[in-house]
Amino acid sequence: MTSVSDPISEIEDAAMRELAVISDATQLEAWRLSYLGRKGKLTRILRGLADLPLEQRRSLGAEANRIKLRLETAHREKLARFEQDRVAQVTEGERLDVTLPGPPLPRGGLHPITRTLQDVLRVFESMGFQVAEGPEIEWDYYNFEALRIPADHPARDMWDTLWIDCEREGRRSMLLRTHTSPNQIRIMERTQPPIRVVVPGKCYRFEATDPTHEWMMTQVEGLAIDDGISMADLKGTLAEFARRIFGEERKVAFRCDYFPFVEPGMELRIDCFICRGAGCRTCGRTGWIEILGAGMVHPEIIANAGYDPDRYTGFAFGLGIERIALLRHGVDDIRHFYANDLRFLQQF
**Active-site residue, selected from the candidate residues 15, 159, 269, 297:** 159
Annotated catalytic residue 98: no
Cβ closer to ligand FA5: 71 or 294?
A: 294
Helix (H) or strand (E) holding 76: helix 54-94
Positive or negative, the CA dihedral 58, 60, 65, 66 is positive
The whole-angstrom separation of Cα 181 and Cα 278 is 33
Cβ closer to ligand FA5: 173 or 218?
A: 218
Annotated catalytic residue 159: yes
Which position among 12, 138, 140, 322 is part of the footprint of ligand FA5 (CB under 6 A)? 322
Annotated catalytic residue 89: no
CA dihedral 128, 134, 139, 142 (to 10 degrees): 0
The CA-atom distances, in angstroms, between 275 and each of 2, 255, 332 are: 87, 20, 11
Bridge partners of 199, per DSSP, are: 221
Is residue 259 a contact point for ligand FA5 (CB under 6 A)?
yes
Annotated catalytic residue 316: yes
Task: Give the residue nearest to ligand FA5 (CB).
Answer: 320
User: For ligand FA5, how many residues bind (rule: CB under 6 A)?
Assistant: 25
Which position among 317, 328, 331, 336 is part of the footprint of ligand FA5 (CB under 6 A)? 317
Contact 32, 75 (CB under 8 A): yes
Cβ closer to ligand FA5: 27 or 114?
A: 114
Is residue 262 a contact point for ligand FA5 (CB under 6 A)?
yes
- With contacts defined by CB under 6 A, name the span among 71-79, 100-108, 241-249, 290-298 that binds ligand FA5: 290-298
Which position among 143, 312, 318, 337 is part of the footprint of ligand FA5 (CB under 6 A)? 318
Contact 348, 112 (CB under 8 A): yes
Amino acid letter, residue 300: E
Annotated catalytic residue 27: no
Say which residues have a Cβ less than 8 Å from residue 107's Cβ, sequence separation at least 6: none
**Active-site residue, selected from the candidate residues 220, 262, 297, 325:** 262
Which position among 143, 173, 183, 219 is part of the footprint of ligand FA5 (CB under 6 A)? 219
The whole-angstrom separation of Cα 215 and Cα 210 is 10
- With contacts defined by CB under 6 A, name the span among 43-51, 58-66, 111-119, 317-325 that binds ligand FA5: 317-325
Indicate which residues carry an active-site annotation: 159, 179, 205, 219, 262, 316
